[in-house]
Amino acid sequence: MKYKLFTLYCLISMTFMCVSTAYVWAKAPDTPKIAFSANHEENRDIYLMDPDGSDQINITQHKALDGWPAWSPTGDQIIFSSNRGGVRDLYLMDADGSNVRKVFGKRADRTQATWAPDGKQIAYRWREPGGSFIYIATIDGKKEEKVALGSSPDWSPDGEEIAFLTGWPELMQITVLNVNTRKQKVFFPKPVKPSWMTSPAWSPSGDKIAFSWLHQVPLVDFADAETIYIINRDGTGLQQVVEEDARATAPVWSPQEDMLLYNHYIRGTQPQIYKIELNGGVPAKRLTNPKFWHSVGDWFDPAFALSVTSQVHLLTTVWIRVKQK
């Protein structure tokens, strides 16, 4: 019995030390930060900025094209897409841009990564000769599974579903995959022809989805009318959020769920990142420099993230219970 307890103690101690050591080097931001991509230095890199657009910092500084940053649930890591290995693929880095490493051993055209709420898995788009597919993989890259035909996946906050796009290029719809059963159902719209959409995004509470939508004929003549909408999880309450004064795409929720970021396109100018409050009455605000190209990525706030300290506390609690037995 003592031998078994000692063995279990060693295993828990090793896990505890690994967790502690990892987080010495990987620390989440102390204040809210927005990750995005931009070409300030004639090259596309990943940047961080404060929610008001200030304190913009390049954290990749690499000659490759880097984009699609997404914060881990604890905020200590960022997953992003880069062609630095010769093929556009997924990479991980610490929140300050250090410790960059590949997720997968074998290269492939992987982009648009989204984290599972527990941080153990990711979903992403894999572009193959037969089209774009949704895959799920463990964060260590050792296990991958093709689960659907589509693009732009976003994992729901409860971990039960993944919203993604199907029907490219002119009959696009938001489809929802049940992660446990692998069953799919069309969420919205059903049916509307034509329909061009981008970037479905679950609200932090999981009761709404934001997305951009264009449904005027012909699509090419009304490209600037694409704008941001919100709909309830049950398919009711469709609401237009941004006026059709310029093309608005790729919505990203604030952790408080009271604002959205989005890409704002005006023909002949560089795309910019805008922020809009959802309670109305306040005009949308541009956060980025119009001299350069920008694309929104993800918004992290430590006040709404899972605490690393609480994770370590769970391990300590387990060991106390073992000793008591």
Tell me how far apart the alpha carbons of residues 127 and 202 are, in angstroms, rounded to a whole number: 23
Higher per-residue pLDDT: 310 or 299: 299
pLDDT reading at 258 higher than 60: yes
Band of pLDDT at residue 175, cut at 50, 70 and 90: very high
Q: Is the pLDDT assigned to residue 234 strictly greater than 70?
A: yes
Reference 228, options 207, 208, 214; nearest CA is 214
Asked whether 225 and 241 are in contact (CB, 8 A), the reply is no
Residue 323 has pLDDT above 80, yes or no: no
> What average pLDDT does the segment 3-27 reach?
45
Examine the pLDDT at 4 and tell me if it is beyond 70. no
- Please state, for a pLDDT cut of 70, what percent of the chain lies above it: 86
Tell me the HSE value of 62 on the side-chain side, using a 13 A CA sphere: 21
Structure tokens at 29: 């931001």
307 against 9, higher pLDDT: 307
Please compute the mean of the pLDDT values over residues 86-106 and round it to a whole number: 96
Q: Who wins on pLDDT, 219 or 295?
A: 295
Tokens of 174: 């938001």
Confidence at 188, pLDDT banded by 50, 70, 90 = very high
Give the pLDDT score at 71: 98
What number of H helices and E strands is found in the chain? 2, 24
- Comparing 130 with 290, the larger pLDDT belongs to 290
SS3 call for 10: helix
What's the pLDDT score for residue 268?
82
Secondary structure (3-state) at 91: strand
Residue 261 has pLDDT above 70, yes or no: yes
pLDDT value, residue 3: 43
Per-residue tokens: 254: 């604030």
Distance CA 207, CA 21 (A): 37
- pLDDT greater than 60 at residue 25: no
Grade residue 307 by pLDDT with cuts at 50, 70 and 90: low
97: region left, alpha or beta (phi > 0 left; psi from -120 to 50 alpha)? left
pLDDT band at 320 (very low <50, low <70, confident <90, very high): very low
Mean pLDDT score across all residues of the chain: 87
Residue 282 confidence (pLDDT)? 86
pLDDT in tens, 145-164: 999 999 999 999 999 999 99
How confident is the model at residue 93, as a pLDDT?
98
Q: What pLDDT, on a 0 to 100 scale, did the predictor assign at position 21? A: 38
